[in-house]
Amino acid sequence: MRIATWNVNSLTARLARVEEWIEYAQPDILCMQETKVSDGAFPAMPFSALGYETVSHGDGRWNGVAIASRVGMSDAQHGFDNDADEQGCRLVAATCGGIRVHSLYVPNGRAVDSEFYVAKLEWLEELRHYLERNTKVDDPVVVAGDFNVAPDDRDVWDPTEVSGATHVTEPERAALRALEDWGLVDAFRTVYDQAGLYSWWDYRAGNFHKHKGMRIDLLMLSRPLAERTRYALIDRNARKGRQPSDHAPLFVDVAD
């Protein structure tokens, strides 16, 4: 099974590129972030034409998350299961092909020690509690999306340039480790250990061509799935061309 995640940075602007990528990459499950469309305006028909069921959680402004599945979909859930969903449309879940799939867009944090940074850490903590309440570590679980955290220094083009900024602070990385301590595995790292493999590049200053990026898009799998991961790829080609997202799609192949 091929499981993918992609911050599309506006599904309205990028729909043709997403359709093209689906046709050649053939993911069984695709998690999307920053769709920036309301649920009522979500383009379900183009996905249906490609053989995918979809679920969306968006209000038409910023944020917005979705899942597309060609292996079935049931038990959709929008947002956290309590009143902690104050950061907008950032989490949607569904069961696809027997796997509990979560597409998420973690708050950016803006500036260290700002109220937005504190809210980001609180959101990540609530995510862990949500998983504890709703899933089990030995179940097939996927938590995929734009985490806005580079797990370690291998995932940043130059740690000295971004030291003290969001995405690389110890509290943010500790929040990721807490998810791993609970039972999730960074599936990409089960295949690739080297540095310099990024999923996001700032639009400004030609950073993509300068190879100045970060790996902040993650596929976190429960151990039963992670142990069956056979292949992984950050598709840099999808970051090229006309009007790309600033993120590249990431996928892993999990053996049956």
By annotation, the residues acting in catalysis are 105, 146
- Return the SS3 of 175: helix
CB atoms within 10 A of CB 180: 12
Helical spans, DSSP H, in 135-191 = 159-162, 170-182
Adjacent-strand bridge partners of 38: 59
CB atoms within 10 A of CB 94: 24
Q: Tokens at residue 194, please?
A: 């080297």
- Give 219's contacts (C-beta < 8 A, 6+ positions apart): 3, 5, 142, 144, 186, 187, 188, 232, 250, 251, 252
Write down the residue that tokens 């509290």 correspond to. 171
> Could you tell me the strand order of the sheet in which 53-57 lies?
53-57, 65-69, 29-33, 2-7, 250-254, 229-234
Residue type, 7: N
CB atoms within 10 A of CB 78: 17
Answer whether 109's CB lies under 8 Å from 120's CB.
Answer: yes
CB atoms within 10 A of CB 24: 9
Tell me which H or E stretch contains 233: strand 229-234
